[in-house]
A = this chain, B = another copy of it.
């Protein structure tokens, strides 16, 4: 009995994963307004099965965004182990942008979703915790301006994502590297304080508090 049950669950779990994978593909290709029918077909399951796992299309999107949050957290953790604290920050934002440049549609979803669902609170907290460590470590090494907070990196993810998704035909696909470069330059301590010797340094608005 237990064997049968876990067998079923294993099957169900595999379906779940197939659905999520298919959804990421389809969303990336067609944008978020892609139909559930296409996702189910791509996943090789019936449409009703999809709705059994994700009662709402929105739930499916949320699940994907949660996954992305987890991947972001994993990336942050990895970057924390870079010997060079600044390179850790750089690699994190670079990695986020790179993913976004593949994701297209889903990237936008993340922005819409990091808002609403309290269901993502856990992932969000964990991500902010890790980026805070990234930030503080770089600040201690005097490699990152002091007026940056951990949660900034999370918000910047979406700006960086939009940098990665300029749909201008004929533009090189990695143009986002150009704009990310400018952005990274702006994150240096000297950018905040030493740029204009005579002039007063720009005072940033204070960092947002999340939750």
Interface residues of A (CB under 8 A from B): 33, 108, 111-112, 114-116, 145, 148, 152, 155-156, 158-159, 161-163, 165-169, 171-172, 174-175, 177-179, 181-188, 190-192, 194-196, 202, 204-208, 210
Contacts and interface: CB of A to CB of B under 8 A. Distances in A.
3 pairs of A and B residues whose beta carbons are closest in the complex: A186-B186, A162-B162, A178-B205
Given A169-B115, A172-B208, A175-B205, A182 B181 contact: no
A163 B167 contact: no
A152 to B, nearest CB: 8
Nearest to A182: B186
A139 B168 CA distance: 26
Contacts of A158: 162, 166
B183 A191 contact: no
A112 B182 contact: no
A132 to B, nearest CB: 16
B33 A208 contact: no
B111 A167 contact: yes
Contact of A111 (B162, B175, B192, B202): B162
B208 A179 contact: no
Contact of A168 (B166, B183, B194, B210): B210
Given A162-B158, A182-B186, A208-B175, A167 B202 contact: no
